[in-house]
Chain A
Amino acid sequence: MARGASTRQIEHLLRRAGFGARPDELDYYGQLSTAQAVDELVNYQSIADDVDTFIGKAGYLGTTSNGAFSPQSNITDSRQRWLFRMVHTDRPLQEKMTLFWHNHFATAYSKIAGTYGATEGARYLAAKPSEDPGQVRGQIEMFRANALGNFRDILIAVAKDTAMLVWLDGRTNTKAKPQENFAREIMELFTMGVGNYTEPDVYAGARVFSGWNLQQPGNAADGSRHYEFIYNAAQHDTAAKTFSFPIYADGNKTIPARAAADGMQDGVDFINALAANPNTPRYLAGKLWRFFVSEFRDPDPAWVERIVSVYLQNRYEMRGVLREVLLSPQFWDPSSFWARYAWPVEYVVRALKDVGWSGFSASTALTPLANMGQTLFEPPDVAGWDLGKNWFSTGAMLARMNFASTLTSNQKFNLATAVKNAGAHKTADSLLSYFLDQVATSPLDGGVSSELANYLRATGAWTATDAQLQAKSSGLVHLIVGSPEYQFV
């Protein structure tokens, strides 16, 4: 097999298309060329999807729960399971795109739980069909299953998703009183973007989705009772709906009047139109650029148009789009390396991969993540998290430094053992080089590594005793992981 990619390139690829690299991932992908590595990441179907079976096993990131671990019904456990997957999955791009969709179609647990209770809230967001008596597939499982799926199919699934029907009030959209919330956001935030639709489009869109409500099949006794999508013909507005943009391929802007029984087709026609509208891939491409390529420079217009045409040529298949993104020269340009502010979950998961997870529980990361501004399943609003430099308030920066402290404190013994096993413990300088190599950062600003060396010498002569190695290794790695240079991916 061709060995084309440098460690630097593989690390870049795995920071963006994944959550950083475990040592075994570095070894594996390090044997591949960049194109082979991209293929491997994009075509993940051939890799076993068995990551959940390792939860609770020795040698993996731990979890802590009240009673049995119940990610299908307890949101704290759902969050831990997702963090576990981010650390241990062998399908990193699938998990990364799941996070992308979670932010894109941002749905918050608190409203679902406020409507149907905490257990149901976790269920509609995070349950797997195999673990739910009513075979409920929570929203995040739908995104995982469609991580590189067809964008039109994702939009249909989102429009019928139980959590979304609660979150944006579709469940109460009736013919007498159409509900605008979902109709507005599907155009503003999910597809074309603001400026490409009008207020009357919002009102017409609300009528399109009238009757896209919820029903509650199953029975209470065996726990199978659950809310799920129903097209309620009696609540559908059957009149024609006209938009300011084309709905049909011939340019026709009007969804015709239809019998109530056939009215569900309105929503399908509308979603087809949104998926086919070139403003949709243009809007998506901008987000993909900032997520995968760079936040330091504006999207390259030629790149955006390339993504738009790949999206349209492949009939909205995201797998082809992502392959294009990850193979693009702009992605591999060295100016894109480290050119994105790390999201809190990216920061936490990469720190776990770099520093170590043995003996650490995912639950310990949940409060720090909240303090950094990112609680999974709880985006601040339907527009998702405020990205980029917005992550870096002073309070959030302190929370990052303090998470680094919590983690290195927990990993003291492991860090000291590792540096000793590598034979790099004999001098302060060798220890410094070892850890700067293990815990990669964007290039350190001039003078920072001598400050780190000064820290290692600050409290006395180098003795390399176990006590000193534990104190200095943890203190040093705390400073590195808490450094500004580490806050980029």
Chain B
Amino acid sequence: MKVTRRQFVKGGVAAFTVTFAAPEFLSDLARAQGARTRNLVVLYLSGGNDALSTLIPYNDPNYYSRRPTIAVPAGQVLQIGTDSSNVALGLHPRLTGLKQIFDQGKLALVQRTGYENQTRSHFLGTDIWSTANPNDSSGLGWVGRYLDSLPSPVDPLIGWNTTGALPHVLVAGHTSVPSIPSAAGYSFSSPNAGAEATAERSSAIRISSHVPVDRPELAFVYGTAREALATLDRVATVAAYTPSLTYPNTGFGQALRAVAGAMAKSIGTKVYYVTTGGFDTHSAQNPNATNGSYYTLMATLNDGLLAFYNDLKNQGLLEDTLLVSFSEFGRRISENGSQGTDHGAASVMMVMGGRVSGGLYGTAPNLNTDPKNPTLENNAGDVHYETDFRSVYAQIAENWLGTNAASVLGGNFKKAGLTFI
């Protein structure tokens, strides 16, 4: 964007910041001055999603020989074409909604995402994906670091965690993100009514405004109480949100309903965290029966995301929203003796949104068992990564959040061709 003197004067600081940070996109300050907002939704599939059951290389004979009881039959998959290496791919049969979104060009699937020497530990793995740091995963979350980079003062509702406990990805140095598992339950109650209750509430607010010195742990709890009390009224407006359609009655569906509500009510939140779990399918994975465990996981995922997508579309918010998914690892290629799969390595990431350039990114693994197979690792037991997961984050940081990816991610991970946004 070329900024003329006239635009500069008219747009003031906003126009200046636009040229400064990310030419094509609006900065936060610009949005604060009336431009449309941009929302990021981070979705965590907890337990290690079996990417080979989500996005299926249904013409690879090794997929069937290595998974005699849990492969999805070729005739059942939802075909979505071939990737750049000419491997035919299909979505899990229950992902009919994601197929629609894919067909509309608003869903990108990035194959074989991971990192070198990927851990098989749930906890270390989750920390690494959350911090974007395979070498030291004890630091701040990558989204937390982004929030820290925003100009102060940062609105206490800048983020919205839909679970009860703050996930590592949102842990920031000096920006706190409220955890609001239920907008309706996010209120201050009192043993008394009327004037007594009012007096109590104002007293609680006054007390929470204290900032204890030299007691960092106590100060932390004070901060939490303060943020909670400061955001009650705006959260209450979200509890009153009426969506344009009915969301599934799952925890995941209801969390996405709240996210859409917060966006529709324009309460100022920009970063959201949602999760759905149960992906640690060591046994009875059963992706084919309608009551099978993986089938149920796909149902929850699909129905929640489809409702969210359509609701945002109906509310005119789709263009302002980008959702990205991650999971701590993919799973072992060969099934185990329990009709399940053990911890593996690379996985698939999903990016969904109104401005996403959908399609298949990266190439599928070849599942042949040759220990030298370059698309695999661990004696051809697991999928080897092709795209560093931080390259996906980098693309989002620069081209969606309009921030400096290298400074948020601690290095330059931009990858050519990864142009989903």
Q: Which residues of A contact B (CB under 8 A)?
A: 168-169, 172-174, 176-181, 184, 188, 194, 199, 202, 295-296, 339, 341, 370-373, 380-383, 386, 389-399, 401-402, 405-406, 408-409, 412, 442, 445-448, 451-452, 454-455, 458-459, 471-472, 474-475, 478-479, 482-485, 487-488
Residues from 124 to 170 in B contacting A, C-beta threshold 8 Å: 124, 161, 164-166
Q: Measured between alpha carbons, how far is A399 from B123 in the docked complex, in Å?
A: 26
> With A173-B337, A177-B336, A394-B224 in contact, is A184–B343 under 8 Å at CB?
yes
Are the C-beta atoms of B207 and A451 separated by less than 8 Å? Answer: yes
Selected from B122, B228, B342, the residue in CB contact (under 8 A) with A180 is B342
Contact A395 B191 (CB under 8 A): no
A169-B204 contact given A475-B191, A475-B192, CB 8 Å threshold: no
| A405 adjacent to B189 (CB under 8 Å) | yes
Q: Is the CB of A406 within 8 A of B189?
A: yes
A392 and B221 contacting across the interface, CB-CB below 8 Å: yes
In this complex, what residue of A is CB-closest to B203? Answer: A455
B contact residues around A391 at 8 Å (CB): 165
With both beta carbons as reference points, the residue of chain A lying nearest to B218 in the complex is identified as A484
Given that A373-B165, A395-B178 are contacting pairs, would A401 and B204 also be in contact in the complex, using a CB cutoff of 8 Å? yes
Near A by CB (< 8 A), chain B positions 206-263 give 206-208, 210, 212, 215, 217-218, 220-222, 224-225, 227-228, 231
B180 contacts A by Cβ under 8 Å: yes
Whether B218 pairs with A178 at a CB distance below 8 angstroms is: no
**When the two chains form their complex, are residues A392 and B220 in contact, meaning their CB atoms are under 8 A apart?**
yes
List chain A residues, Cβ under 8 A from B224.
392-394, 397, 484
* 11 A-B residue pairs with CB within 8 Å: A177-B337, A339-B217, A371-B181, A389-B217, A394-B231, A402-B187, A447-B210, A448-B210, A455-B199, A458-B203, A474-B191
| B340 nearest in chain A by CB position | A169
Q: When the two chains form their complex, are residues B189 and A402 in contact, meaning their CB atoms are under 8 A apart?
A: yes
Give the residue name and chain of the B residue nearest to A381 (CB): B122
Pairs A-B, 6 closest by C-beta atoms: A177-B337, A393-B179, A172-B338, A409-B191, A394-B178, A394-B228
A203, chain B: closest CB distance, angstroms: 9
Q: In this assembly, does B66 line the interface, its C-beta being within 8 Å of a C-beta of chain A?
A: no
CA distance A199 to B196 in the complex (A): 61
B199→A459 contact, CB < 8 A: yes
**Is A487 touching B221 in the complex (CB atoms < 8 A)?**
yes
CA distance A446 to B202 in the complex (A): 18
Q: Which residues in window 343-367 of B have CB below 8 A to A?
A: 343
Contacts A173-B337, A179-B282, A371-B181 given; does A405 touch B212 at CB 8 Å: no
Tell me the minimal C-beta distance from A305 to chain B in angstroms: 23
Confirm or deny: B120 has a beta carbon within 8 angstroms of a beta carbon on chain A: yes
A179/B178 in contact, CB under 8 A: no
Q: Contact check: which of A174, A455, A487 meets B200 at CB < 8 Å?
A: A455
A262 CA to B303 CA, complexed, in Å: 51
Residues of B within 8 A of A405 (CB): 189-191
Q: Are A485 and B218 in contact (CB under 8 A)?
A: yes
Query: In the assembled complex, which residues on chain B have CB atoms less than 8 Å from the CB atom of A380?
Result: 165
B191 adjacent to A452 (CB under 8 Å): no
Of the four ranges (under 10, 10 to 19, 20 to 34, 35 or more), the interface on chain B belongs to: 35 or more
Inter-chain contacts of A408 with B (CB < 8 A)? 191
Listed residue (B176, B192, B208, B221) with the most chain A CB atoms within 10 angstroms of its CB: B221
Nearest-CB distance from A385 to chain B (Å)?
8
Please indicate the chain A residues that have their CB under 8 angstroms from the CB of B231 in the complex: 394
Q: Which residues of A contact B207 (CB under 8 A)?
A: 448, 451-452, 479, 483
Contact A373 B164 (CB under 8 A): yes
How many Å from the CB of B176 to the closest CB on chain A?
8
Report the bound CA distance from A474 to B341 in whole Å.
Answer: 54
Complex interface: chain A residues within 8 A of B188 (CB): 398, 401-402
CA distance A178 to B282 in the complex (A): 11
Does B59 count as interface, using CB distance less than 8 angstroms?
Answer: no
- Do B282 and A383 touch across chains, with their CB atoms under 8 A apart? no
B120, B122, B342: residue with the most chain A Cβ atoms closer than 10 Å: B342
Partner of B124, one of A176, A194, A471: A194
| Cα-based distance from A408 to B189 in the complex (angstroms) | 11
Tell whether, in the assembled complex, residue A194 and residue B121 are in contact, meaning their CB atoms are under 8 Å apart: yes
Known interface pairs A169-B338, A389-B220, A390-B166. Does A184 touch B120 (Cβ–Cβ under 8 Å)? yes
Question: Could you tell me the distance between the alpha carbons of A406 and B217 in the complex, rounded to whole angstroms?
Answer: 26
CA distance A170 to B340 in the complex (A): 12
Q: Which residues of A contact B200 (CB under 8 A)?
A: 455, 475, 478-479
**Given known contacts A454-B203, A478-B200, A383 and B123 CB-to-CB distance under 8 angstroms:** yes
Instruction: Say yes or no: A396 contacts B164, CB within 8 Å.
Output: yes
CA distance A442 to B217 in the complex (A): 11
| Contact, CB under 8 Å: B343 / A188 | no
Q: Is the CB of B179 within 8 A of A199?
A: no
CB distance from A129 to the nearest CB of B (A): 28
Q: Is the CB of A394 within 8 A of B282?
A: no
**Beyond A184-B343, A475-B200, is A202–B120 a contact (Cβ under 8 Å)?**
yes
User: Is B186 part of the binding interface, using a Cβ–Cβ cutoff of 8 Å?
Assistant: yes
The answer to whether A177 touches B338, judged by C-beta atoms less than 8 angstroms apart, is yes
User: Contacts A177-B338, A390-B166, A455-B203: A398 and B186 contacting too (C-beta < 8 A)?
Assistant: yes
Q: If A180-B342, A448-B207 touch, does A394 touch B185 (CB 8 Å cutoff)?
A: no
Chain B residues with Cβ under 8 A from A180's Cβ? 282, 336, 342-343
